[in-house]
Amino acid sequence: MLAYAKALGAGIGLGIMYALIRVDSPAPPPVALTGLAGMLIGFGLLEAVA
């Protein structure tokens, strides 16, 4: 659970920094969300196997 909180905090921090320096997200939202979903699925599968 702590890892999720750290990831959320890092994401919020980067989002604020992007907004402050007016940089667009490096990936279109659907692509970014698909990548995040893949990471979560992979992490869950690895946790289940290990």
b/e per residue 11-33 (b: at least 16 CB within 10 A): eeeeeeeeeeeeeeeeeeeeeee
Q: What are the start-end ranges of the H helices in 1-50?
A: 2-20, 29-49
- Cα–Cα distance between 7 and 18 in angstroms, integer? 16
- Residue type for 23, please? V
Longest dimension (CA), the chain: 41
pTM (2 decimals)?
Answer: 0.49
Question: Tens of pLDDT along 5-50?
Answer: 787 788 778 778 877 888 776 667 777 778 778 888 888 887 788 6
